[in-house]
């Protein structure tokens, strides 16, 4: 599922990053597909996030934030 502006990729701003068709398509996904999608995003961000940030997030999580 592509949630970005395919017509003009350089025109992807926060305001138009998601369009209504993409939101409706996501709503139609099964729970297992949504969880799979979220797991893929988590893996992606985990690979990109610097170790320093991961440690800071873990510390905040341990403190209840």
Q: What is the DSSP string of 7-45?
A: S-GGG--TTTSS-HHHHHHHHTS-HHHHHHHHHHHHHHH
* pLDDT tens digits for range 7-21: 665 655 555 567 888
* pLDDT tens digits for range 32-64: 999 999 999 999 999 999 999 999 999 999 999
CA–CA separation, 33 vs 21, rounded Å?
17
DSSP state of 50: -
pLDDT band at 29 (very low <50, low <70, confident <90, very high): very high
Closest by Cα among 42, 40, 46 to 1: 40
Instruction: Map out the domains of the chain as residue ranges.
Output: 9-62
CA–CA separation, 65 vs 60, rounded Å?
5
Query: pTM for this one?
Result: 0.53
Q: What's the pLDDT score for residue 22?
A: 87
């Amino acid at each position: 599922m592509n949630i970005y502006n395919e017509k003009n990729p350089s025109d992807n701003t926060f305001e138009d990053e998601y369009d209504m068709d993409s939101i409706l398509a996501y709503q139609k996904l099964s729970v297992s597909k949504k969880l799979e999608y979220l797991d893929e995003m988590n893996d992606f961000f985990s690979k990109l996030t610097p170790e320093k940030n991961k440690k800071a997030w873990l510390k905040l999580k341990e403190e209840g934030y």
